Structure formats: structure tokens, C-alpha cells
A and B are shown apart, each in its own frame.
Chain A
Amino acid sequence: MRTLILALGNELMKDDGIGLKAGRILAEKGYDVLEVGTDIFRLSNHYSGEDRLIIIDAILSDELEPGSVLHLAGEEVFEKLKAEIRSAHFMGAIDGLKLLMKLDERLAKAEIHLIGVVAKEIDLGMELSEEVERALPEVIRLVEELY
């Protein structure tokens, strides 16, 4: 089973950079990682029929503590997450992924996982909060288990 890791987020916005930072660690370890950033449509340029996608991204939650790591799979990804659209040109990642799945049958059949880290701060800055930084090893472990 071929797997592609999608690193999402904006590293200029503090904890929103967790997906990219985790993605770079995994890429250095030799895993197949695509840096999507804030543009989920980049996936359609690079997707070559992988059977499993693992998305790493920051999430916001009023219930979970900052730094909590969450693993969602399959329909849960779409049911539980409401993507927040802050740039209409780049649709929210979840809606954008749904759109791509409607255009590509292989993608529609792929197994989708999301490893989300609850953000503490989404604001201008390159650094992660302590809580989110501490979550990095757990994110890497979960992705490696799934891969």
C-alpha cells in the first residue's frame, strides 16, 4: 500500500506551522511528504494514485487542551472537522479535498487519515507554542505507525 503524507498549514502563523514542521522531520527520515501549505489543490498536481493519505495539520478546539494530538480516519475526517476558510482562493483543506475526490476516482477510494494538533496560538510568528512543540514526537510516532 502506497502512502503520501500531506503537510498542511502556514508556518508564518505560529502553531499553524505544526503540519509543515512535522512533515519536514518525516521527509528527512525518508517518508514521502508533500508540502501542501495553504493550498490543498497542490495535491492534484502531485497525486499519483497513492492508496493512503495522511494529513498533518493544526486544528482549533474549545474542548481539547492545546497540544492534544488527535487521529481521525475515513468519514470522521469530514464529519468532525469544519474547515475554516480564511482565503477563498485556497478553499478550506477539507472542502478542497472533497472537491478533488469528486474529480479523481483514485483519490475518492483512498484511505484518509488526519493527525491534528490542537493549536494554542494562530498569530504572526514563526515559532510553535511550547504545548504544540511538545506534541511533535507524538505526531511523528502516529504517522510512522500508520505509514
Chain B
Amino acid sequence: MNNVYLPITVDHIARVEGKGGVEILVSDDGVKEVRLNIIEGPRFFEAITLGKKLDEALAVYPRICSFCSAAHKLTAVEAAEKAIGFTPREEIQALREVLYIGDMIESHALHLYLLVLPDYVGYSNPLKMVDEHKKEIGIALDLKNLGSWMIDELGSRAIHQENAVLGGFGKLPGKATLELMKKRLQETLPKAEYTFELFSKLEQYGEVEGPITHLAVKPRNDVYGIYGDYISASDGNEFPSEAYREHIKEFVVEHSFAKHSHYHGKPFMVGAISRVVNHADKLYGKAKELYEAHKDLLRPTNPFANNLAQALELVYFTERAIDLIDEALAKWPIRPRDEVEIKDGFGVSTTEAPRGILVYALEVRDGKVAYADIITPTAFNLAMMEQHVRMMAEKHYNDDPERLKYLAEMVVRAYDPCISCSVHVARL
């Protein structure tokens, strides 16, 4: 009979958004089981918005996540607008995308510098590395502050924005603010480029190299971006957003409060690397040049490439936001909002949140939410993430357990999972 040893466990994966754990069970034959124990709560939000008036429900959805509240808000608003048969004007759509990009810049900067980089420079947290890496921490905060300022200006506040509303925006910032935003984006671009250069030199662990199916929203107008009405898969398949349930199946696993998802019966990946794998041909500007020069590092076969893909996106989205602001300024003055008629209907919005595809499906009846389905990128990624932790464990189960724990955590961190919302208090 084979011996089964005590599990190697990480109760709380450090430096990820929220709480999750890893459990690796090893026997004489090798790795028996790998479990990602993760708790996520968006399903409460679906249930509590049923029967609520549409605008009230739209105020609730961004509460799913304090960190990606702009992504949740904008995706929910688009699903609602599709349900009632409304399409925003081009300039409103451009400014919504700028707001979304604020979320993207803030999220990528914090993930890369405060969560990932400490692993590579040998520190357990950013506070310990600040003395030796002041420049990097300074850049992280500059990028983060730019992103959160963009969200403040266009979304009305940093967290749980109320300014994106059915039909457009509650109010718009002035022309001078948008011009200042453009200037700050231009000034910050070299910091985004520095980030790409820095992350292009970091190791991507070959232990987890292997085939991955990547899914990403197909951006509108053939320009790399956030909004789209079709999902592209790296197996060559493409399907309309409304058909997501036909291609992606969610299922319950015993060890996780969050459901896992399979695409055509197999785990799959979403996120920055999945966007790059599916749509690099739609990049332009400096990011396109960087992609061409470093595409050997942006491999579809390695989840660690997600870190470099996020760095590439910091460059891309900084430039893209400048162009989108120009598009809006060309039509200035802009009416912030059009009147909308709340009709019955069903709408699905799929957008690219910082961590990958975010799905909102809403049905509106008599002005109220009759059906809601929300799937977050982390939920999509869980099955694939577990598979990659297993690959890492299979190579290192004979090593020092602390080393295995560290490598397993690094795999999870490369996915940039967003596990729960935040509350912070101080303990005396």
C-alpha cells in the first residue's frame, strides 16, 4: 500500500486579492491531488438584485469588487443597455473605455509591482523591498495614482462609481480635465515602458509550460481593447457573447465556494496573455513594436507570460486612452447622457476586465431585473490555475515543502486572481 503524506498546504495565499489556499497531497507515487480552496461571493449579488429596479441594481453590481468596481459597473451598464435596446453614442463609448482603462492601469500596476515583483527580488512584501527598490515602488504608485485619478474624474469616485449611468454619464469632466488627463498619460508612458522592460527580464518557469486554450473578447472595430460582442478562442473558434453558456459550462467542485468552468470540456485561461494570444494583431503603436520584439516571451504556453502581457498592456492602454480622449475632444462639447426608455429585454455584455473576460447577462421585465448571471474572470481561470499548480507540484514535490509552497503561490499570483472584496481594520 502506498503511503499518503500530510498535505502541503498554504492556508492563505499571500499577495493575491482576497483569501484563498492551496492544498497539495503527495503519496509515494507522486502528487495525488491539488486543490485551490477559494471563496468568492458574486452569486449573492445576482440573487439580491432580482426584482430590484434596474437603476438600483446597477448601483449594487460594482459592490462585487472594490478593486474592479469600474469593470463591474461598466459591464453591468452595457448589459442593461443591450437588454433595453439602447446603444450609446461613439464619444460616450470612448469615454467609458477611458474610465475602464483607469481600472486596467491601476490594477496591472499594483499586481505587477506590489504582488509579483517581491517574489523576484527576494522579499515577502513590498514594504520590505522599498528601501532597495524605491524607484520601482514609486513607479507603481505613480501608475496606480494615474489610474485611480482617471476613475475619480470619469466615475465620480475611486470605488463603486455612480457616474456611469444608463444612457451615458451622470456628468462629464470639463475639457481642461480631459486635456490634463491626456498630458498625465503622456508623461506616464515612459514608466509603463520601463515596466515592460523590467518584466521582460524576469524568469518564466518552464515547469508549467504546456498547451493552454485562451479565451478573450474579440474587440470591436479591430482595435485591441475592452468591449466586444464575440468571444475568440485560441483553437480558432469564435462565438457570440450571448452563446457563452453553450460553450462554457460552470460546475461545482467540493473544495471551492466558487464554481469552476470548462470550455468544450476542458480548463481554459483568460486574462492579459489570453488577450495578447488572441488579438496581438490588433495592437498598435509602441505596444505593437514591443510585442514584435518580445513575442518569444509572450508565449501562449506559459501562465507566467501573463505578467509580461500585463506590462505590455500598461504601455498599450496608456497610449490607447490618449487616442480615445482625442476622439472625445474632437466632438466637444459632448452631451453626457441620452434619454433611455426602459423596455423589456435580455442583454449580455462581455468585456475584458484586468483579469480577463467578465460576463453580465441581465433580463429586464417591467423595469426590474428578472434574471442576472455574472461570471468573473477568476472563476473562469480556477480550473486551469489548479492544473498549473499541479504541474508545478509534480516537478517539485520532492523539494523542500517551503520551496514548493512558494512556487505554487507564484503560479497562482501569475493569474492575478481577485478572490474577494476588501475590508480593512487595525488590530490592537
Q: Give chain A's interface residues, CB within 8 Å of chain B.
A: 8-10, 12-13, 16, 37-39, 41-42, 44-45, 57-61, 63-64, 70, 80-95, 98-100, 102-103, 114, 116, 118-119, 122
Contact = CB atoms under 8 A, between A and B. Distances in A.
B421 A87 contact: yes
Contact of B130 (A59, A87, A103): A103
Given A58-B425, A99-B130, A44 B158 contact: no
B145 interface: yes
A99 B194 CA distance: 21
B304 interface: no
Contact of B158 (A37, A95, A114): A37
Given A16-B425, A91-B114, A99 B126 contact: yes
Contact of A38 (B15, B63, B423): B423
A86 B127 contact: no
Nearest to A95: B127
Contacts of A41: 141, 144-145, 148
A42 B158 contact: yes
Contacts of A39: 148, 158-159
Interface string B105-137: 001001100110000000001110011001001
Contacts of B110: 89
29 contacts: A12-B63, A13-B423, A37-B66, A38-B159, A38-B423, A39-B148, A39-B159, A42-B148, A42-B158, A45-B149, A57-B425, A58-B426, A59-B426, A61-B427, A64-B428, A86-B420, A86-B424, A87-B18, A87-B422, A88-B18, A89-B111, A90-B424, A102-B134, A103-B130, A103-B138, A103-B141, A114-B426, A116-B426, A118-B428
Contact of B424 (A12, A38, A103): A38
Contact of A99 (B15, B18, B127, B424): B127
Nearest to A123: B423
Interface string B401-428: 0000000000000000000111111111
A93 B424 contact: yes
Contacts of B424: 8-10, 16, 38, 83-87, 90, 92-93
Contacts of B137: 99, 102-103
Given A89-B67, A90-B422, A59 B427 contact: yes
A42 B158 CA distance: 9
Contact of A45 (B17, B127, B148, B422): B148
Nearest to A10: B423
Contact of B67 (A8, A44, A87): A87
A9 B426 CA distance: 10
A125 to B, nearest CB: 12
Contacts of A118: 428
A80 B427 CA distance: 9
Interface residues of B, number: 38
Across the A-B interface, the 6 shortest Cβ-Cβ residue pairs: A87-B422, A61-B428, A45-B145, A13-B423, A81-B426, A10-B423
A33 B382 CA distance: 41
A21 B127 CA distance: 29
Contacts of A83: 424, 426-427
Contacts of A98: 127
B14 interface: yes
A145 B111 CA distance: 40
Nearest to B115: A88
A92 B66 CA distance: 15
Nearest to A68: B428
B323 to A, nearest CB: 24
A133 B35 CA distance: 43
Given A84-B425, A103-B141, 11 more contacts: A41-B144, A57-B425, A64-B428, A81-B426, A81-B428, A86-B19, A88-B14, A89-B107, A92-B424, A103-B137, A118-B428
B353 to A, nearest CB: 14
Contact of A102 (B14, B63, B130, B420): B130
B16 interface: yes
A119 B125 CA distance: 28
Contact of A88 (B16, B107, B130, B149): B16
A63 B428 CA distance: 9
Nearest to B67: A89
Contact of A89 (B115, B125, B131): B115
B428 A119 contact: no
A98 B149 CA distance: 22
A42 B14 CA distance: 22
A122 B424 CA distance: 10
A64 to B, nearest CB: 7
Contacts of A102: 130-131, 134, 137
B425 A60 contact: yes
A42 B145 CA distance: 7
Nearest to A40: B424
